[in-house]
Amino acid sequence: MVKTVVLASSSPRRRELLENIGLKFRVDAAEINEDHGRRLKPAELAKIISLEKARAAASRHPDCIIIAADTFGLLNSEIMGKPADENEACLMLGRLSGKCHRVVTGFTILDTETGQAVSKAVETRVYFRKLDSQEIETYVKTGEPLDKAGAYAIQGLGALLVERIEGDYYNVIGLPLSALARELKGFGVKLPG
């Protein structure tokens, strides 16, 4: 019998990515305190937060496969989460202008029947072109940056800010699909193709 897969995330982008690869799943967002201030290496922090999200959803879903993730940007060693408002979005984008930053996504797959779990982290380097203040203000006024880590959406208008990337494009959106697909196989989850 194939187990039900549950995405423990309210992210419409993660939902869309999984739909695009043909995975059948339910959504049940796990609400936890995403404490990004812990003194851990970024990859470890992302994995731990994704594991906490998976465990929070697990209690509601016996005999299921849970997928949970956490994504954040890093400029030097500073974590850049979602901006609180337009002003903070402008400040974040100004700091990213003309620089390379890293996007880290931690994901966890958890089998709630057996307790088997795997947590991985993937990092992508994103290079922004030099932006002027008018470009930043115009982009922020679209509203797109306000619920995105690092204050931009690479799959939307934010693509215009990015010069190039090194690594997994889908990781920047919020879910490294290739790495996730490899790990899902170990849980008996079959994907089309």
Candidates 28, 70, 132, 168; catalytic one = 70
- HEC profile for 40-62? CCHHHHHHHHHHHHHHHHHCCCC
Dihedral angle of Cα 50, 54, 56, 62, to the nearest 10 degrees = 180
List the one residue out of 146, 176, 168, 172 whose CA is nearest residue 159: 172
Burial class of 44 by CB neighbour count within 10 A (0 to 12, 13 to 18, 19+): middle
Would residue 28 show up in a list of annotated catalytic residues for this protein?
Answer: no
The residues, ordered by sequence, that sit 6+ positions from 51 with a Cβ below 8 Å of its Cβ are 68, 106, 108, 110, 117, 119
DSSP 3-state percent helix, strand, coil across the chain (nearest 5): 35, 25, 35
- Which positions are annotated as active-site residues? 70
